[in-house]
């Protein structure tokens, strides 16, 4: 048998949201059989994480592409404007400076200041143009790091979302539901499943008889819950001598014996698929 428990990667209590199977239903391996109540929130978190990845990828494309051609063209025009302004200021300054005593010192100083201002403005415009045309590796690496972080967050959100789905690990049948919608998942988990096949009978062999039991021996299985006797084969013998677990129907019988478990594979699994935990009598053909 298999117990299906719910797990939360955040450590929060797990609450059953929806059951998709009932007791007695057959299930297939990897089939979704229940959802936790956090499912919708976790799906929203996963979508948000994907949106952040999309934004980070667009930013990376933008940084790698550099400035827009229109921005570069506008800045080039600004450089050319200041080049013209500087040339004009230089010519004006040279013309006034050549007049000697016919101009005042303040006029010459004003024209010199105009040349200095135009020179600095032209340098700044050229630097701005260079920065627009340059793709800095540091900027690219920063955006790439942001993209990787977004991808990791998406993986975590995906894992959380997947953990809110309870899937069957086997092909089998639901034999017990331990937690209904709205209930917290306890130590018993949500479901108890049993495989369809193979089916086994666990026989308690008295410690004095275990030396005569061998793998491959045939066994006859009978009991009140069976339509008739069925057959099986000893497939495995336990290594642990332990106290008897199955008490005799007659309380007057001695029940404190020590036993070894033997697993007997039933020939026709369908005969006992709906009889989990049935108490039977086993006779091994020595």
Model confidence at 6, pLDDT cuts 50, 70, 90, reads low
How many C-alpha atoms does 139 have within 13 Å on its Cβ side? 14
Residue 123, pLDDT score = 86
User: Rounded distance, CA 26 to CA 198, Å?
Assistant: 15
- Tell me if 219 sits within 8 A of 232, measured CB to CB: yes
Closest CA to 5 of 260, 193, 201, 259: 193
Per-residue confidence (pLDDT) for residue 109, from 0 to 100: 78
pLDDT digits (tens, 9 = 90+) for 191-221: 888 887 888 999 999 988 999 999 999 999 9
Task: Note the helical H segments in 134-259.
Answer: 137-163
What average pLDDT does this structure show over 37-56?
A: 89
> pTM of this prediction?
0.55
């Amino acid at each position: 048998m298999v117990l299906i428990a719910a797990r939360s990667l955040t450590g929060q209590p797990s609450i059953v949201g929806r059951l998709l199977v009932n007791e007695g239903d057959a299930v297939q391996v990897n089939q979704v059989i229940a959802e936790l109540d956090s499912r919708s929130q976790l799906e929203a978190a996963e979508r948000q994480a994907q949106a952040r990845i999309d934004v980070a990828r667009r930013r990376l494309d933008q940084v790698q592409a550099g400035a827009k051609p229109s921005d570069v063209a506008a800045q080039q025009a600004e450089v050319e404007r200041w080049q013209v302004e500087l040339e004009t200021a230089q010519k004006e300054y040279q013309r006034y400076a050549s007049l000697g005593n016919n101009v005042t010192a303040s006029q010459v100083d004003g024209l010199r200041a105009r040349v200095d201002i135009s020179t600095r403005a032209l340098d700044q415009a050229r630097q701005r143009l260079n920065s627009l045309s340059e793709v800095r590796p540091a900027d690219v690496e920063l955006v790439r790091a942001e993209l990787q972080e977004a991808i990791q967050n998406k993986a975590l959100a995906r894992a959380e979302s997947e953990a809110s789905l309870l899937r069957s690990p086997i092909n089998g049948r639901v034999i017990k539901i331990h937690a209904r919608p709205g209930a917290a998942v306890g130590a018993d988990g949500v479901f108890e499943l049993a495989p369809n096949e193979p089916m086994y009978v666990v026989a308690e062999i008295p410690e004095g008889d275990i030396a005569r039991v061998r793998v491959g021996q045939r066994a006859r299985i009978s009991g009140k819950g069976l339509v008739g006797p069925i057959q099986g084969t000893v497939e495995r013998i336990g290594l642990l001598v332990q106290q008897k677990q199955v008490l005799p129907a007659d309380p007057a019988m001695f029940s404190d014996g020590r036993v070894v478990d033997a697993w007997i594979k039933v020939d026709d699994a369908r005969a006992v698929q709906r009889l989990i935990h049935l108490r039977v009598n086993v006779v091994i053909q020595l």
